[in-house]
Amino acid sequence: MKTVYTFLLGSLLLITACDNDLDQFPPNIASSDSLEDFTGVLNAAYFYQHGSVTPIAVMGDFRADNALMEEEPFPEFDRFGPDLVVMEDQFFGPFYTALYRSIISANNVIENSSNATHIGEAKFLRALSYFKLVMVFGDVSVILDVPNIESIPTFDVARQPADDVYNTIIIPDLQDAIAALSTEIINGRASRYAAQGLLGKVYVHRGDFSSAEPHLAAVVDGAAAAGISLQENFGDIFGVDNDLNPEIIFSTQISSSVVDEYTFSEFWSWSGGLDTKSLLPLDPDLIAAFDAVAGDIIQAGDTLDLRRAVTIDENIMASPKFPQTGGPDHDWIEMRLADVILLYAETLNENGASAEEVLDLLDPLRARAGLTALDHTVLNTQALVRQAIQDERRLELAFEGHRWFDLVRTGTVDAEMGQTINSDYHLFPVPISEVLASDGVITQNPGY
């Protein structure tokens, strides 16, 4: 397992060197004070999230029915076969490596820092990292301490069941983060509401709606007091000038002044049709979705959904959501209030709330989009309300990396994609380099 050990050792060496590296961080990310107080290591845990951003954006939208690949072999994203492994270097490898580096940095803070707030932030970042890994790969290797040269030969890198990762790491870490962090969002860093929102989302992904409800309710009910609110104009959520706006609960902050380890086209290039592998990325199915809401044609008297012009451009068949101007400085939105509201509505519906109560939550989002309120006397069953919420999620969150993972967790992949897809391909391939380097201790997902 020499290569795996080399990766772990390399990550450790990067962590020990990060105090000087972090002098380059922009002002909106806290600067390092000294390695002794582990501020620099915590900053590294934030920084390494960068490498996960574009891969999960592409997996979330190009695997689904929002975006299309053109140049071979990239259409493998739409063919649902074993050949997706050829994209390891551009997507799955950088994603995997970045998140484990974030995890090891977070472990260092958790083990060694005496600052309770920093430990809370580190636990949030560790939970976020493992959540992304589990959504993408399913079972994953678990690292809960900081490897050193002596311990590397005994490291167990065998993949652990996803359920165990949720129950022993992700959920407890988020519970600890909730207890340690303030509701105040300081310089865009992790807050209590970021941890509660993520924990609610984790429970939703697991189908545990009763556990999800109080956490999502806490965010929705407490948002205003914490300065979290929906932007009046949908377009004002996105673009470099709107980074850290009041709707953002947590984002991975990106600056062109900080060297990004991800060396390929960034998320805003992919969605905007700026990468030659997909010059016309907009899927016609998403255009059709903007012509229908909750399975029905837009009601008479409504204008076109105001989210449409922000999200899709039919002339260039791409998305202007993250404009090319200022692209290298776009933050990646990990969680915003509209996402949490929609998850909360979904949770209430699954927990048996009335259609009126659930659909009322969608009113502010639809009003901002220039649409009328959904009629709860028409959408009067749990199934109809469920579909309405999923339709709203698609239009609200398109090109923000959610769509594929929403389809998988709701069991609607085949219905929405219009084809029968082997469930093996609901997950993505583990980097083959890790499988080979571990002599098979790290196993590949079925189908690949």
Tokens in use for 37?
A: 């107080």
Rg of the chain (C-alpha set): 21
The reply to whether 441 falls in a domain is: no
Output phi, psi for 202, to 5 deg.
-60, -45
Amino acid at the residue 431: P
Q: Where are the alpha helices (DSSP H) in 73-223?
A: 76-79, 93-112, 116-137, 162-165, 171-180, 192-205, 209-222
Angle between the N-to-C axes of helices 116-137 and 171-180, in degrees from 0 to 180, rounded to the nearest 10: 150
Amino acid at the residue 22: L
- 68-93 pLDDT, tens digit per residue, is 999 999 999 999 999 999 999 999 99
Q: What is the pLDDT of residue 146?
A: 87
Residue 70, number of CB atoms within 10 A of its CB? 14
Residue 154: name the closest of 10, 1, 7 by CA.
Answer: 1
How far is it, in rounded angstroms, from Cα 217 to Cα 202? 14
How far is it, in rounded angstroms, from Cα 174 to Cα 277? 38
Residue 83: name the closest of 91, 71, 75 by CA.
Answer: 75
How far is it, in rounded angstroms, from Cα 371 to Cα 392? 11
Q: What is the pLDDT of residue 6?
A: 37
The reply to whether 27 falls in a domain is: yes
Q: What is the pLDDT of residue 287?
A: 94
Contact residues for 234 (Cβ-Cβ < 8 A; gap 6+): 306, 307, 310, 368, 369
CATH number of the domain that residue 28 is part of: 1.25.40.390
The reply to whether 433 falls in a domain is: no
The reply to whether 438 falls in a domain is: no
What residue numbers bound the domain in which 378 lies?
A: 2-152+160-414
How far is it, in rounded angstroms, from Cα 388 to Cα 394? 10
How far is it, in rounded angstroms, from Cα 44 to Cα 32? 10
Q: What is the pLDDT of residue 327?
A: 85
pTM: 0.91
SS3 call for 143? coil
SS3 call for 296? strand
> Counting Cβ atoms within 10 Å, is residue 189 exposed (0-12), middle (13-18) or buried (19+)?
buried
CA 64 to chain CA centroid, Å, is 15
Q: Are 96 and 16 in contact (CB under 8 A)?
A: no
Residue 8: name the closest of 132, 131, 141, 166 by CA.
Answer: 141
- 315-363 pLDDT, tens digit per residue, is 999 999 999 888 889 999 999 999 999 999 999 999 999 999 999 999 9
How far is it, in rounded angstroms, from Cα 276 to Cα 434? 29
The reply to whether 437 falls in a domain is: no
Q: Where are the alpha helices (DSSP H) in 138-190?
A: 162-165, 171-180
**Largest Cα–Cα distance in the chain?**
70
Tokens in use for 248?
A: 């953002």
Residue 50: name the closest of 257, 339, 212, 312 by CA.
Answer: 257
Per-residue pLDDT of the chain (448 residues), as tens digits, is 333 333 443 444 444 334 333 333 433 333 334 456 899 999 999 999 999 999 999 999 999 999 999 999 999 999 999 999 999 999 999 999 999 999 999 999 999 999 999 999 999 999 999 999 999 999 999 999 887 767 667 788 999 999 999 999 999 999 999 999 999 999 999 999 999 999 999 999 999 999 999 999 999 999 999 999 999 999 999 999 999 999 999 999 999 888 888 999 999 999 999 999 999 999 999 999 998 754 454 455 555 799 999 999 999 999 999 998 888 899 999 999 999 999 999 999 999 999 999 999 999 999 999 999 999 999 999 999 999 999 999 999 999 999 999 999 999 999 999 999 999 999 999 999 999 999 999 999 999 9
The reply to whether 238 falls in a domain is: yes
Number of domains in the chain: 1
Q: Are 304 and 242 in contact (CB under 8 A)?
A: no
The reply to whether 447 falls in a domain is: no
* Backbone φ/ψ region at 370: left (φ over 0), alpha (ψ -120 to 50), beta: left
The reply to whether 183 falls in a domain is: yes
